[in-house]
Structure 1
C-alpha cells in the first residue's frame, strides 16, 4: 500500500518503519518544521524526527501546518495521522483512495482531545487503551477501525504510559488496520456519542462559559460579556 503519514516525533517514525517492514511504501510525510516549534532551521538536529527521518530517504516532506490536498501525491492508498496535531480536511482526506485513519491513545469516545493521556492519569482511570479510527470532520469522532484496552499500571505517569504501553499499542493497531484495508476488510464501528467525553488541552487557559450551565427557567447569561480577572 502507498501510505502518506502526517505526524510528529518518535511515534510517527516508529509507525513509518513498521509499515516499511511490512512491505508498504511511504510516499510522503507531513510533520512540524522544528521540534517543539523553535530552534535553528539550518540545524538538522533541531528538525522534527519524522522530517529528519524522511530527508535521507528521499521521501517528500511538507510542513504539517501547511498540509493541503495539493501536497498529497497521486496514488496514495492510505493517509495515516500518527501523533498529528494538524487537522486533515475533507479535500485532503479525499486524496486517499482507500482510507484516512488516525490513532488516538484512549478508548474512544472517551477522552477525546489532545491531552487524552494526561487526563487519563489525572482522572485516576484504571483502564485505558488505544483506538484507530477513520478521520472525519469531527475531531477524534470518526468510526472505529480497531480498539484494544489495557490496565493502567500503578504509579504510571503520562510519559511512561505513552512510551511503554500506548505508543507500542498504536503501532500494532495501525499495522492491523492497514493489513485489513489491504485485504479489502474495512471496519467502521460508530462511536457512542452518548458516552463521549472531551477535555481541553491542559496548557490552554480555562474557559468561562456560564451560558453552558444556566438552569431551566432562568435567564440566559451571555458569557462573552464577562472577563476573568486574576489578581
Structure 2
C-alpha cells in the first residue's frame, strides 16, 4: 500500500465513526487518508458532512434493482477513487459473498459488542438482558459471515446499574470513536 493508505468509508447514517476516522486521518503521521465516503442512502447525513469537509462522496440507492448491480456501482466508485481499504461505519447492508471476495482482507467493520458475543442487531439490549457487567465494541475483518471475521481490536465499556440500551449505546459509541482509528492504523501498519 501507499505511504498513506487510501481508505473509503461506507455508511448509512450520520457517520459519527466516519467523522472520528477523518479527524484521525488529519493528524500528523496518520497512516491513511479518507478519499471517499459512500452510502446506500443518498440522504444520509454523513454524506453532507463529508462533502462539507472536501471529501469525495458517492451515493446509490439499492431499491428496485438486483443487489449485484448495486454493488457493482459501489465497487466501480471505490476503484475509480483508488481505494485500497474499506471501513464500514454504520453501513447497514449485508455485503454479498462476491463483493467480500473482491475486497478480501481489505474490509473492516466496527460492531457494538465484544465479538463473538452478540452478532447482528440490538447488541446493547442483549448485553443488558444477559446481565453482562461489561459491553463494548470490536473492529473486525469482514468475511462472508455476519460479524464473524477476525477481531482486530476491542474496547470494553462497563454496564452500569440502571443502564438502558440507549444509555449503554451512547457510552459505547464514544469508545468506538477512539477504537476505530487506532484499530485501522494498527491494521495498516501490519499489512
Aligned to 1:131: 138
148-157 or 5-14: bigger deviation? 5-14
CA-based RMSD of the aligned residues comes to: 2.4
**Cα distance between partner residues in 1 of 2:98 and 2:78:** 10
Aligned to 1:144: 151
On the 8 A contact 1:29/1:61 being kept in 2, the answer is yes
Q: Determine which of 173, 179, 187 is the counterpart of 2:185.
A: 179
Q: Determine which of 9, 12, 27 is the counterpart of 2:14.
A: 9
Aligned to 1:205: none
SS of equivalent residue, structure 2 residue 108: strand
Residues matched between the structures, number? 172
1:167–1:161 CA distance, 2 compared to 1 (3 A): same
Unaligned ranges ≥5, structure 1: 35-46, 187-231
**TM-score, normalising length from structure 2?**
0.77
Q: CA deviation at 1:91?
A: 4.2
**Cα distance between partner residues in 1 of 2:71 and 2:20:** 19
SS of equivalent residue, structure 1 residue 2: strand
**Cα distance between partner residues in 1 of 2:83 and 2:36:** 9
**Cα distance between partner residues in 1 of 2:96 and 2:20:** 22
**Cα distance between partner residues in 1 of 2:157 and 2:51:** 35
On the 8 A contact 1:15/1:171 being kept in 2, the answer is yes
Structure ranking higher on relative contact order (CA contacts 8 Å, 6+ apart): 2
What pairs up with 1:1-231 in 2 under 5 angstroms?
Answer: 1-7=5-11, 8-22=13-27, 23=30, 24-33=32-41, 47-56=43-52, 57-63=54-60, 65=62, 66-68=70-72, 69-74=75-80, 75-93=82-100, 96=103, 99-163=106-170, 165-183=171-189, 185=190
Q: CA deviation at 1:97?
A: 8.4
**Cα distance between partner residues in 2 of 1:64 and 1:21:** 30
1:151–1:91 CA distance, 2 compared to 1 (3 A): same
On the 8 A contact 2:24/2:181 being kept in 1, the answer is yes
